[in-house]
Structure 1
């Protein structure tokens, strides 16, 4: 997708996460697992990943979601600790394991996170950050979306890692879509991205560290649990 196809999103308020939740009744959560994520996706999380953003969509056809940050402390620790949680939005038509250009759904899966950027500078960002007016949304977009791309974090879906989020290269072909970002939320669904509050974005820019190999695990709750 081009920038204009990435999706929409604008502003809400983040809140600190509580202790790791339990997603199964009557069974103690395994601290070495990301809650609500089944083996089929869990095994795709790289062994060296020390930061995981889990995006829990409410339903396959819903645009409502929750983003939670989990970390492993130390170089050898195996337990995941939940650090923060924010309300979020995903594709306006929900989720799909077979995302394609223009379907208005967010892709289900496990993806690395390696690059960031935006209209505004982020001097405290740990990920490589591209500050450029080229992130400015098109003038024909609704007024509510004007600040969607003040800051973005690229999800490494059908893109070249180590490049600006604006890079249009699509290694799997144009039909598979692209420009799937985390960006600022404006209160409703996107064209495929995940949108979060400004406070959450600023926290993630200061926290996501390439030396800790961050990844995002994203999908509707039913798909994540399969």
Structure 2
């Protein structure tokens, strides 16, 4: 082979290699002028016309449906939910919830067992009917025969918080008012639970409290063990505008 022929073969091979390296089909008309695989760069993505939805939504108050939730006062961030087993039941379950901006409502105490009125629940409470009123009510004042256990609520220590006799099951009532939180049903908030002013009239009852359990149903109050009453009193914070949401399960869920 002559030198000229050998040189021609080398040049031809180099040209073929160059064509293969650049692509025999020529440039891709859809390709960007910028190398999308170059280090430190990324392919441009079209903007989405709609923002992505949040991954989590704040949790609503558990067991409480839209009708009852609509009754929560603006700014309320603490709710004691008292759930009756049935409309005619005198036993209930109590959970304290607090609201957080990102999480929504979450339980901070309970569940605790409780008693309520002997004949269950009513949405039209009257004096002496032995039913506990259904609804959403403020928790603004506390008191008791025993000294303040450390609550942030206004607390009235008074020997007038005394009771004697027996309950509907023959159980002793003594000590039931050692600790009390007034439920703002037919009363004036900002006064001692002992205040007997009844804005709705005497016929609509009053003196509906959360108090120490005596192991039996109540006239209309909600009752918790002494330990749980202390825990409730030290947890309630007037800055969170606490309320009680109470009634039978089926009604609360509406």
The equivalent residue for 2:200 is 172
Q: Is the 8 A contact 2:57 2:103 kept in 1?
A: no
1:40 lines up with 2:67 in the alignment: yes
Structure 2: distance between partners of 1:130 and 1:102: 26
Structure 2: distance between partners of 1:167 and 1:185: 22
Q: Is the 8 A contact 2:146 2:178 kept in 1?
A: yes
Q: Is the 8 A contact 1:113 1:214 kept in 2?
A: yes
Equivalent runs, 1:151-170 vs 2, <5 Å = 151-170=179-198
1:70 lines up with 2:97 in the alignment: yes
Structure 1: distance between partners of 2:147 and 2:115: 24
Alignment partner of 1:66: what SS? Answer: strand
The number of residues matched between the two structures is 195
Alignment partner of 1:218: what SS? Answer: strand
Task: Structure 1: give runs of 5+ residues left out of the alignment.
Answer: 1-28
Structure 1: distance between partners of 2:197 and 2:60: 34
Q: Point out the structure with max Rg over C-alpha.
A: 2
Alignment partner of 2:88: what SS? Answer: coil
Q: CA deviation at 1:77?
A: 4.6
The equivalent residue for 1:187 is 215
The equivalent residue for 1:22 is none
Q: Give per-residue Cα distances to partners, 1:93-144, cap 9 Å, x unaligned.
A: 100000110000000000010000000011411100000000101x444562
Q: CA RMSD in A?
A: 1.6
Distance of aligned partners of 1:78 and 1:159 in 2 relative to their CA distance in 1, 3 Å threshold: farther
The equivalent residue for 1:95 is 121
The equivalent residue for 2:88 is 61
Structure 2: distance between partners of 1:141 and 1:161: 30
Q: Which runs of 4+ in 1 moved over 6 A?
A: none
Q: Is the 8 A contact 1:31 1:81 kept in 2?
A: no
The equivalent residue for 2:175 is 147
TM-score normalized by the length of structure 1: 0.82
Question: Which stretch has the larger CA shift, 142-151 or 124-133?
Answer: 142-151
TM-score normalized by the length of structure 2: 0.74
Task: Structure 2: give runs of 5+ residues left out of the alignment.
Answer: 1-55
